[in-house]
Structures are given as C-alpha cells and as structure tokens.
C-alpha cells in the first residue's frame, strides 16, 4: 500500500510539473512602453499621437491595397474565397454559412438590380436600409459599394420626424427593408406627401397583397429581394468601383469606438447583434471581412443572445458595458455558498495578479477549477472582446478579464471620426482609462474654462484630427464648419449636432501620465447611462417641475448606473396639504421622509409628457431646504450648480443606488 501511495504521489507530482510547464504564464510583450503610450506632437504635451508611429505622420491605410470599404471586402474574398462569411440560424438549429464568394456574387446581382430600378452608380446615389442585423443587410451594403452608391441606414428609434427629414435630405427613392411593418411606416409618409421621392421598397420577408395595392395607390413599387435580383437584365461588372475619397455611408447617429484590426485572423468568428446602423458595429464588420473572418448573426431577439453565442462559439465579442455588467451580475449571483464565493474571489485575485504582469490566459489551474463553466457559457472559444459606447466600471472590467481569460479592449470614439479614436494598448490590462490615440488619430486637449478644465493640467475637451475624421454633415456646410475647424480638428462638442440626435459629444478628458486618456464627463451635462442611452437631465427636470408638489428637482445618473434618481425640494406651500389628500399627515420635514407619493406623481407626469422609461427616475430623496444662490446650489442666473448639488448629496445618492440595486 505504501509503495502504491508513493507511486501515485510521484505520478501526481510528475503530471503537475508537466501541467505547469505546458501552461506556465507567458506575458504578452506590449508593442510600446506602457508608461509612454502616446507622444507629444511638436513639443506640445497636450497634443498627442500614438507611440506606435515613427513620426507625426498618421496612419492612413492599414493595408496599401485596401483603401475603401469595398476593397476591404475584396481583400477578405481573396483570403477566404469559398470560406464562410455570413452565418444565420433558425430557432434551435446550428448556424448555416454563406461563403465570401456567394456574398460577393449576390451583392453584384442585387446592385445590378438597383441600377435597373434607376439608381445611378455614383456616390451621390443614396440607398436606404431599414432592417435588423442579418446577412441580407450586409449583402445590400456590399451591393451599394460595388456600384459606388452610398448607404443610409435607418432605424426605428430615430423617430418619425427624423426619418422623414433623412429621406428628404438624401432624396432617397429606394429603401431596402426586412419586414412589411417597417415598410408600412415608410409608406405612411409617402401617403402623407412628406417623402415624395420614395418610389421603391424592397423587402427581405414576404408581404401581403393588400400592402402591394396600398403602395401602388401612392406610386410606390414593392418588390421582394429575390425579385429585384432577377429583374436585372444583365449582371454588370463594377465598372466604377468606389475611390478612397468617395462617400460610403451616411450615419444619422452617434456611436462609439473603432476596432484595431491588428488582432483579427481568418479563423475568427464574431457575433452581430449591436445596431448595424451604428458606426461601432459597421467598423467591426468591415474589419472582420477585411481579414476573411466570419460574422454570425443573432436570431434577432436579444433574449436569445446567450444561446446564439453558445451555438456560434465566437472568438470575438463586440460588447457594451450593459451586457458585461449583466454577465458580471450573473456570475456573482450564481455562487451562493460562502465557500464557493470565497474560492471565486480568491481565484479572481490570483488571475488579476497575473493580469498586472501582462498575462492573459484561460489555461491556468484556476480556469480549469473555477472559471471553466463561465467560459463555456460564452461558447468556450473567446479570444478577445471589445467594449465601447460608454465607460465600463474598472471593477467589472478587471473581474471579467480574470474570469473570461480573454483579451478585453476598451475604446473611445464617435461617429464623426468613424468610430475609433483611442484604444487599449495590447499588453496594458489596467482599467479606468480608454487607452491611447490610435495610429490614425491625433488628439489634443482644449481648455474649457467654465468647467475649470485646462489643457496644461492635463484636462480639457478632446479634439481629434486625422484621416478617420468625417467629411461633414450631409448638406449642412454651416454645422460642418462648426464641427471641423480650419486646421481639420474635429470639435463636435460645439455643435448641437443634428436635431434628432439630442446629444453633445464635447468630451472632457484627462490625459494620464502614461499617455492614456480617461473620460471625465460630457459638457452640457448630457450623459449616458450604462446601457448607452443618452440622458439630457435638464429636459427631464423641466418635465418633473410641472408636478404640483415639486418645487425644485435635480436628476442624477452617470455612465456606471443603469437608471436615474432624483433629489426634489417639495414646495413648502402646497406639499403638506397635497400629501394630506393622499392620506398622510405630518409636518413638512416629517413628510419629506417618505418620497413615495411624489415619486408616483412624477412618474405619471413623465409618462404623459412622453419620457421614455429609462428617462424616469427610479428613486427619490426629498430635501426640505430650497436650493438657492446663498447656499451655493444655484448660479446667479438661477441655474442648478450641478457639480455642487452632486457633491452635497453624495451620501443620499449612493444610498439610493445601493438601496434600489436590482
């Protein structure tokens, strides 16, 4: 028995040693000194470029033979040929794949069909697309690029008014839609006479005869995608492929960040579920195609996304903080026993220690013992993820880097610079910043005196220059010249962009010692919640001010929270009586202890004023003392001093968030 025990001990030791040798951590060598990730341009420390560049000339093209979105697909086609390109699945089924060759052929046939319907093969021709993510979306896009036409993505949350404005501005005659309901909403505008140019709707799905009849009555032709494809008498060669200076896409939205193509390989698979109308997703897709990699589409229902991911087994996961927060909550929620929880936290700390020395891996003992199931729930093939659109909490980011064992990059950018501006440097797995400028972008800080931000202190508004900066707003030279100064710097924050995009991106940033940037805030107090929804707090406050018991109101939220809360000063003149009618009695101060009735009244007011549910406050603190100039909470012009109110009520704010945590 003793011999046997010893033998098995030797055996175990040997296999442990072998295991360690095979899986010992190897740190990734970063491409530059992580303590100097960006470099001052022309001796000006507040103007920075990537440390990866040799000199101040920015990177225009990643590959010399690839200068347009059309070229990018052609490059992937050369690499992958009959290899898989676009994947889709029916409920409960595995993924089916359309090859690169097939996508290119279908795009050419579809493009010829569009020309047969009178579209012109030049970048002044705008073609609308109004559909959820699916292979036909990408085929339609490529059809446009194949004949140098420009794509105009439409999406539901734009709202009716904006949609009409876009169709009108871009003189769109053909819109490609997925379903009859979407096409019907466009038809309604034509019937009202507000989009007279609209003459052809192309649908992916089947539609009713009644719809065709209705369209005919207002001189709109309705076709199924396949019909349009056979309608082209001959398939034309792209005799006029787009040039680098040609317009490719008009985005009526603001999205965020870009992708560094340095990490994508032909074997990579990405999951497509973020809005294709946003620059973020557009950039991810073209980067995938450029490398002959493949994209699988979700079934169109976000509640099935995790099942789609498990089936698709992506290697690349483009993601937004909201989803990562949900994954984080789920992991923590799934370990209930104290012992398992302690083990999880211990394992996370061990992996985090490796992270800080540059090691990211999924084959440590902790991965086998503790994180195996978590990694399997995302398909088990994840190599890297990219988070953007809102800052992610450093706690969540570093927890997930440890548990998922894959590279998670964070980026910052905006639509006006084709999504990408800054990006985490490979090898820098620290959190709390958005990386250094990409090699295609130069950034500079500009003072914002009224917020006390000065470039010489390392903070200010971020301005961006480089080949990825946009050409301008469609048919709006005035707004364009406000956004782009004569030296080519993009100051999008100074512009109230376009009326349907109620946001100002004037982004205040802090330049860290090591050359990375940290986002501080958006000017004009507009902010995003963690899901990426934009909040204009003053607009919401103006709605709540209408409530009888409300004298003053301050709406608070930030990009690490998923909902809003409020601080309300009840109107001393009416509050006591107003509450009495609802069955509560007490002094003004006592009644301030119970915000329930006021909260309900505000929600009702908000609803009738058309606030979206994420624009409503979820909890309230009633404060018995009026905000005034004297107590420092109002400006001389009686506007809220937002930063001061936030500071004074810091305690109440955090207690509301911890109390209502869902």
Q: How far is the CB of 562 from ligand NAG (least distance, A)?
A: 24
Among the listed residues 541, 553, 565, the one whose alpha carbon sits nearest the alpha carbon of residue 618: 565
Whichever of 251 and 434 has its CB closer to ligand NAG, that residue is: 434
Q: How far is the CB of 367 from ligand NAG (least distance, A)?
A: 7
Interatomic CA distance for residues 507 and 527, integer angstroms: 10
Q: How far is the CB of 505 from ligand NAG (least distance, A)?
A: 22
Whichever of 76 and 405 has its CB closer to ligand NAG, that residue is: 405
Chain Cα centroid distance, residue 588: 45
DSSP β-bridge partners for residue 296: 87, 271
Chain Cα centroid distance, residue 476: 25
Residue from 238, 300, 432, 467 that binds ligand NAG (CB under 6 A)? 432
Whichever of 182 and 361 has its CB closer to ligand NAG, that residue is: 361
- In the complex, residue closest to ligand NAG by CB: 430
Interatomic CA distance for residues 257 and 321, integer angstroms: 13
Q: How far is the CB of 359 from ligand NAG (least distance, A)?
A: 12
DSSP β-bridge partners for residue 554: 567
Q: How far is the CB of 321 from ligand NAG (least distance, A)?
A: 17
Q: CA geometry: angle at 180 spanning 175 and 534, to 5°?
A: 70
Whichever of 300 and 432 has its CB closer to ligand NAG, that residue is: 432
Do you know the residue count of the chain? 662
DSSP β-bridge partners for residue 385: 317, 408
Query: Should residue 640 be labelled a site residue for ligand NAG when binding is judged by CB under 6 A?
Result: no
Whichever of 247 and 434 has its CB closer to ligand NAG, that residue is: 434
Whichever of 35 and 593 has its CB closer to ligand NAG, that residue is: 35
Q: How far is the CB of 331 from ligand NAG (least distance, A)?
A: 15
Q: How far is the CB of 12 from ligand NAG (least distance, A)?
A: 24
Chain Cα centroid distance, residue 181: 26
Whichever of 330 and 607 has its CB closer to ligand NAG, that residue is: 330
Whichever of 112 and 387 has its CB closer to ligand NAG, that residue is: 387
Whichever of 289 and 429 has its CB closer to ligand NAG, that residue is: 429
Q: How many amino acids of this chain bind ligand NAG (CB under 6 A)?
A: 15
Site string for ligand NAG, 341-370 (x = CB under 6 A): ---------------------x--------
- Return all residues near 495 (Cβ < 8 A) that are at least 6 apart: 479, 482, 483, 504
Site string for ligand NAG, 390-429 (x = CB under 6 A): --------------------------------------x-
Interatomic CA distance for residues 467 and 486, integer angstroms: 15
Site string for ligand NAG, 30-59 (x = CB under 6 A): ----xx------------------------
Strands (E), 417-570: 422-423, 436-437, 442-446, 459-465, 507-511, 517-522, 527-528, 534-535, 550-556, 564-570
Structure tokens at 437: 């400028």
Site string for ligand NAG, 307-346 (x = CB under 6 A): ----------------------------------------
Given a contact cutoff of 8 angstroms between Cβ atoms, the answer to whether 66 and 72 are in contact is: yes
Q: How far is the CB of 277 from ligand NAG (least distance, A)?
A: 31
Give the strand pairing for 436-437 and 442-446: unpaired
Q: How far is the CB of 309 from ligand NAG (least distance, A)?
A: 12
Structure tokens at 15: 């296999």
- Residue given tokens 């787009």 in the structure block: 242
DSSP for 97-112 reads EEEHHHHHHHHHHHHH
Q: How far is the CB of 93 from ligand NAG (least distance, A)?
A: 23
Structure tokens at 53: 């560049």
Residue from 430, 501, 626, 655 that binds ligand NAG (CB under 6 A)? 430
Whichever of 380 and 586 has its CB closer to ligand NAG, that residue is: 380
- Return all residues near 261 (Cβ < 8 A) that are at least 6 apart: 62, 287, 290, 291
Q: Report the site for ligand NAG in 373-392 (rule: CB under 6 A).
A: 375, 380-383
Among the listed residues 471, 412, 461, the one whose alpha carbon sits nearest the alpha carbon of residue 441: 412
Among the listed residues 368, 346, 376, 352, the one whose alpha carbon sits nearest the alpha carbon of residue 20: 368
In eight-state DSSP terms, residue 95 is P
Interatomic CA distance for residues 455 and 459, integer angstroms: 5
Q: How far is the CB of 271 from ligand NAG (least distance, A)?
A: 15
Q: How far is the CB of 355 from ligand NAG (least distance, A)?
A: 11
Q: Is 462 helix (H, G, I), strand (E, B) or coil?
A: strand
Q: Is 558 helix (H, G, I), strand (E, B) or coil?
A: coil
Whichever of 232 and 381 has its CB closer to ligand NAG, that residue is: 381
Site string for ligand NAG, 508-547 (x = CB under 6 A): ----x-x-x-------------------------------
Binding site for ligand NAG (CB under 6 A): 34-35, 362, 375, 380-383, 428, 430, 432-433, 512, 514, 516
């Amino acid at each position: 028995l003793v011999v046997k025990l010893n033998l098995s001990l030797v055996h175990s030791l040997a296999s442990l040693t072998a295991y360690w040798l095979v899986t010992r951590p190897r740190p990734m060598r970063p491409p530059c000194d992580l303590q100097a990730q960006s470099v001052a341009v022309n001796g000006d420390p507040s103007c920075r470029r990537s440390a990866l560049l040799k000199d101040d000339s920015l990177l225009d093209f990643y590959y010399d033979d690839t200068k347009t979105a059309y070229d990018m697909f052609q490059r992937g086609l050369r690499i992958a040929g009959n290899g898989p390109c676009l994947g889709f699945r029916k409920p409960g089924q595995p993924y089916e794949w359309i090859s690169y060759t097939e996508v290119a052929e279908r795009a050419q046939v579809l493009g010829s069909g569009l020309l047969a319907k009178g579209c012109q093969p030049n970048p002044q021709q705008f073609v609308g697309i109004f559909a959820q993510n699916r292979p036909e979306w990408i085929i339609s896009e490529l059809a446009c690029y194949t004949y140098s036409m420009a794509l105009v993505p439409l999406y539901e949350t734009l709202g009716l008014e904006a949609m009409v404005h876009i169709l009108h501005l871009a003189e769109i005659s053909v819109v490609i839609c997925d379903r009859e309901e979407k096409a019907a909403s466009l038809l309604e505008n034509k019937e009202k006479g507000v989009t007279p140019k609209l003459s052809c709707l192309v649908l992916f799905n089947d539609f009713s005869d009644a719809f065709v009849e209705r369209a005919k009555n207002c001189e709109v032709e309705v076709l199924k995608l396949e019909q349009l494809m056979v309608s082209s008498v001959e398939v034309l060669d792209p005799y006029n492929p787009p040039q680098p200076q040609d317009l490719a896409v008009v985005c009526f939205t603001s999205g965020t960040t870009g992708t560094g193509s340095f990490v994508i390989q032909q074997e990579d698979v990405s999951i497509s579920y973020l809005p294709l109308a946003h620059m973020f997703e557009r950039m991810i897709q073209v980067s995938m195609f450029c490398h002959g990699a493949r994209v699988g589409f979700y079934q169109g229902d976000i509640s099935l996304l995790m099942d789609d991911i498990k089936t698709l087994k992506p290697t690349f996961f483009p993601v937004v903080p909201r989803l990562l927060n949900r994954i984080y909550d789920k992991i923590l929620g799934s370990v209930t026993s104290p012992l398992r929880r302690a083990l999880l936290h211990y394992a996370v700390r061990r992996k985090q220690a490796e992270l800080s020395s540059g090691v990211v891996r999924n084959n440590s003992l902790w991965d086998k013992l503790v994180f195996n199931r978590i990694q399997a729930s995302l398909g088990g093939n994840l190599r890297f993820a990219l988070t953007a659109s809102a800052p992610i909490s450093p706690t969540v980011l570093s927890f997930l880097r440890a548990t998922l064992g894959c590279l998670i990059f964070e980026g910052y950018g905006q639509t006006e610079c084709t999504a990408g501006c800054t990006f985490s440097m490979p090898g820098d797995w620290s959190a709390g910043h958005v990386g250094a400028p990409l090699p295609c972008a130069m950034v500079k800080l500009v003072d914002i005196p009224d917020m006390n931000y000065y470039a010489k202190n390392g903070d200010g508004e971020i301005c961006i220059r480089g080949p990825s900066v946009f050409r301008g707003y469609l048919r709006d030279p005035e707004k364009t010249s406000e956004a782009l100064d004569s030296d080519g710097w993009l100051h999008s924050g100074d512009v109230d962009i376009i009326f349907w995009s109620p946001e100002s991106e004037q982004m205040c940033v802090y330049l860290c010692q090591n050359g990375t940037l940290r986002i501080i805030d958006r000017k004009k107090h507009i902010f995003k919640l963690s899901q990426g929804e934009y909040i204009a707090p003053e607009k919401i406050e103006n709605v709540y001010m209408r409530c009888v018991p409300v004298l003053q109101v301050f709406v608070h939220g930030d990009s690490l929270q998923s909902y809003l809360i409020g601080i309300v000063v009840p109107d001393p003149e009416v509050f006591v009586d107003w509450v009495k009618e609802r069955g509560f009695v007490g002094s003004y101060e006592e009644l301030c202890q119970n915000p329930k009735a006021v909260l309900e009244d505000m929600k009702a007011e908000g609803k009738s004023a058309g606030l979206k549910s994420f624009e409503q406050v979820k909890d309230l603190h009633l404060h018995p003392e009026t905000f005034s100039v004297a107590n420092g909470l109002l400006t001389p012009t009686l506007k809220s001093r937002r930063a001061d109110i936030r500071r004074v009520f810091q305690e109440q704010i955090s207690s509301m968030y911890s109390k209502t945590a869902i």
